[in-house]
């Protein structure tokens, strides 16, 4: 699909046809199974200053926490015992967790649960760290590009560049990680052209996963007064990403559920999504992981209910990227 057509479709007044089309593409490439990824938000320390995010280092209104390595490992084991086959380790960009400590955590989780996949979502680090994490068993890496608009990127991420973000994603791919990017829909001054560029960028990067969610304001950030993103527009971006990128794993994000607790995620499943990421962070910590305000609690039970409500099946597989699997096979045959 050309940029012009993507923009036209983002403008469509009644997007039902677009959602149905995305749903057909999803069914063709990925069938009806929904993959569950269990997320542990193990630290809310962050050295960045992203203008939209409540974890930004300038925010003094949240209590900062770091879970202990043993707590993280124990929780990962419990998640595995629930039948969940992917553990997502997420945190702010926290250098309080050294390469060595993170490697020990990854290694131990893999040693005790060899059948599961580990996804890291821990931001920008020295390249050497990514290699070390892969060597001890990390399988996937989420690093949302947030916005493909260079000017907006630099405005919302003081001290960071889109160029670096993309270099890291390319490097992660070279290391043979399954990679995830993704954007925020509804940032101040973001245009439909920018959203089309987000979709085309994810296509160009040939991502295995993409997290697409609406902007939701957080009261302790500079964007506190900006209105939240629009549900239909977010679903349109999701649907078009499905149509353009085909096999990609696309979560029905918690941000969509926060925007519309009753229908947000079910609608996402009907518009191209095939993944859900229930939160396993212990209550004490979770209440301080305030990326944005009023974050909905999507636990395992709720995730399963939503999958069934959307008329879909709960996958029992690890849910690796099909693109990545094909690539592995091609290599094995050389
Ligand atoms: N609204 C929506 N998404 C946000 N994120 C951070 N802050 C917000 C916000 N206010 C998203 C970013 C980040 C992910 C962990 O959370 O996309 O990559």
How do the domains of the chain map onto residue ranges? Answer: 3-332
**Residue 328 clears pLDDT 90, i.e. is over it:** no
Under a CB-based contact definition with an 8 Å cutoff, are residues 180 and 208 in contact? yes
Is 33 in a helix, a strand, or coil? strand
Q: How far is the CA of 56 from the centre of ligand 1 (A)?
A: 11
Helix, strand or coil, per DSSP, at residue 251: strand
Q: How far is the CA of 332 from the centre of ligand 1 (A)?
A: 38
Q: Whose CA is nearest to atom 7 of ligand 1?
A: 53
Confidence at residue 112, expressed as pLDDT on a 0 to 100 scale? 98
Give the tens place of pLDDT for each residue, 204-225.
Answer: 999 999 999 999 999 999 999 9
Name the DSSP class of 97.
Answer: S
Torsion of CA 34, 299, 179, 146, to 10 degrees: 120
What is the percentage of the chain residues whose pLDDT exceeds 70? 99
- Count of CB atoms within 10 A of residue 25's CB? 18
Residue 212 Cα, ligand 1 centroid: separation in angstroms? Answer: 10
Ligand 1 atom closest to Cα of 211?
Answer: 17
Is the whole-model pTM more than 0.85? yes
Query: With the C-alpha atoms ordered 217, 166, 36, 85, is the resulting torsion angle positive or negative?
Result: negative
| DSSP conformational letter for 36 | E
> Which pLDDT belongs to residue 325?
72
pLDDT at 88 over 80: yes
Alpha-carbon torsion angle 122, 123, 127, 130, nearest 10: 30
| Predicted confidence (pLDDT) at residue 334 exceeds the cutoff of 70 | no
Q: Using the predicted structure, report yes or no on whether residue 169 has a pLDDT greater than 70.
A: yes
Atom of ligand 1 nearest to the CA of 90: 15
CATH number at 3-332: 3.20.20.70
92, 45 Cβ separation under 8 angstroms: yes
pLDDT tens across 106-135, in order? 999 999 999 999 999 999 999 999 999 999
Q: Answer for the pair 96, 66: CB distance below 8 angstroms, yes or no.
A: yes
Q: What is the sign of the dihedral through the CA atoms of 244, 248, 252 and 254?
A: negative
179-206 burial string, b = 16+ CB within 10 Å, else e? bbbbbbbbbeebebebbbbbbbbbbebe
Q: What is the pLDDT of residue 160?
A: 98
Instruction: Answer whether 6 contacts ligand 1 (Cβ < 6 A).
Output: no
Give SS3 for 212: strand
Containing 332, the helix (H) or strand (E) segment is helix 322-332
Ligand 1 geometric centre to CA of 35 (Å): 21
Question: What is the band of 79 on the pLDDT scale with cuts at 50, 70, 90?
Answer: very high
Report CA-CA distances (Å) from 270 to 16, 95, 205, 249, 252. 10, 39, 25, 14, 10
pLDDT tens per residue across span 46-78: 999 999 999 999 999 999 999 999 999 999 999
Rounded distance between C-alpha atoms, residue 46 and residue 206, angstroms: 28
195, 237 Cβ separation under 8 angstroms: yes
Tell whether ligand 1 has an atom less than 6 A from the beta carbon of residue 215.
yes
Distances (CA, A) of 260 to 214, 256, 295: 11, 6, 11
The answer on pLDDT for 24 being more than 90 is yes
pLDDT tens across 134-166, in order? 999 999 999 999 999 999 999 999 999 999 999
For the chain, counts of helices (H) and of strands (E): 14, 8
Share of the chain above pLDDT 90, in %: 96
Token couple for 320: 């690796």
- Average pLDDT value over all residues in the chain: 97
**What band does 330 get if pLDDT is binned at 50, 70 and 90?**
confident
Q: In whole angstroms, what is the distance from residue 84 CA to residue 318 CA?
A: 8
As a whole number of angstroms, the distance between CA 43 and CA 138 comes to 18
Instruction: Give the per-residue pLDDT at 324.
Output: 73
């Amino acid at each position: 699909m050309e940029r012009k057509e993507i923009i036209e479709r983002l403008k469509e007044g009644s997007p039902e046809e677009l959602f149905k089309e995305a749903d057909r593409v999803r069914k063709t490439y990925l069938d009806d199974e929904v993959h569950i990824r269990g997320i542990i938000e193990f630290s809310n320390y962050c050295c960045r200053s992203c203008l939209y995010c409540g974890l930004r280092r300038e925010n003094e209104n949240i209590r900062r926490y770091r879970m202990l390595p043993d707590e993280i490992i124990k929780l990962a084991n419990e998640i595995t015992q629930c039948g969940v086959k992917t553990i997502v380790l997420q945190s702010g960009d926290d250098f309080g967790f050294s390469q060595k400590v993170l490697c020990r955590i990854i290694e131990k989780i893999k040693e005790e649960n060899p059948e599961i996949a580990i996804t890291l979502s821990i931001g920008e680090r020295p390249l050497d760290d990514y290699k070390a994490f892969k060597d001890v068993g990390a399988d996937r890496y989420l690093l949302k590009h947030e916005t493909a608009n260079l000017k907006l990127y630099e405005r919302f991420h003081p001290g960071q560049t889109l160029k670096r973000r993309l270099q890291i994603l390319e490097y992660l791919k070279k290391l043979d990680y399954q990679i995830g990017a993704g954007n925020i829909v509804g940032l101040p001054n973001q245009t439909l052209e920018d959203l089309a560029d987000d979709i085309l960028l994810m296509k160009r990067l040939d991502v295995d996963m993409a997290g697409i969610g609406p902007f939701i304001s957080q009261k302790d950030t500079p964007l506190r007064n900006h209105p939240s993103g629009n549900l239909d527009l977010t679903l349109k971006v999701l649907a078009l990403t499905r149509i353009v990128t085909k096999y990609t794993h696309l979560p029905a994000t918690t941000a969509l559920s926060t925007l519309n607790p009753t229908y947000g995620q079910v609608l996402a499943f009907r518009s191209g999504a095939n993944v859900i990421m229930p939160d396993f962070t212990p209550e004490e910590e979770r209440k301080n992981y305030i990326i944005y305000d009023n974050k909905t609690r999507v636990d395992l039970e709720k995730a399963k209910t939503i999958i069934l409500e959307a008329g879909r099946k709960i996958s029992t597989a690890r849910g690796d990227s099909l693109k990545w699997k094909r690539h592995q096979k091609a290599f094995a045959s050389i």
